[in-house]
Amino acid sequence: MNQQPFEGITAPEIAEATCLTTWPTIGATGLGRWVGRMADIRWGLGKVFTLGNLLALLTIPISLAIYFWQLLPGIYCRYVFTNRRVIFRKGSRAVDCRWLDWDEFDELRVDYLPGQQWLRSGELLFCRNGVEVFRLSSVARPEVLRQTCLTVQKAVLSIKKALQRPFTTSQTQEKNNIQGL
């Protein structure tokens, strides 16, 4: 029997389902941010013929080396967003190193380290009462990911709140059917 009331949508109470997976950019490393700082130099003629664009071309081998270094089994990591939590997974065996439930933060900020803006990456900071409790380093397009996280958090918390309300007899029967009871 299908446990999902809607195909492809899994309630957090039934099982943990992955919503999104993303990987850190080369801006997660000091050398990668150095490449970003060099490529961001605006000195030159117009917007095309700049020292930064020349340095961007010259540092392609360094960028590729950093990228492939990040793919090594002991180094490889990713950020996974599920219907229950945000997870930092490391290694080729996807070991959950750190995580944060969707109800454990009340603010989501984006911070840019020097060199990350040219790489279109940034730090995603999860805060509770103004204090950082979790950080995803050098995510690609951090503002877009921030909005996605806020949308998922709102949906998960709304569902959790709705399930905590008292039910009428017909709603209780419907809830049990959804949960497979």
Task: Say if 172 falls within a structural domain.
Answer: no
Task: Say if 1 falls within a structural domain.
Answer: no
Q: What is the enclosing helix (H) or strand (E) of 127?
A: strand 121-128
Per-residue confidence (pLDDT) for residue 38, from 0 to 100: 94
Backbone phi, psi, residue 92, to 5°? -70, -15
Task: Say if 168 falls within a structural domain.
Answer: no
Whether residue 42 contacts residue 50, with contact meaning beta carbons closer than 8 Å, is answered with yes
The CATH code of the domain that includes 85 is 2.30.29.30
Per-residue confidence (pLDDT) for residue 89, from 0 to 100: 93
Task: Say if 10 falls within a structural domain.
Answer: no
pTM for the model:
0.77
Amino acid of residue 45:
L
Number of domains into which the chain is organized? 1
Per-residue confidence (pLDDT) for residue 157, from 0 to 100: 87
pLDDT tens digits for range 26-78: 999 999 999 999 999 989 888 888 898 999 999 999 999 999 999 988 888 99
- Among positive and negative, which fits the CA dihedral 162, 165, 166, 168? negative
Stretches where the chain sits below pLDDT 50 are: 1-2, 4-7
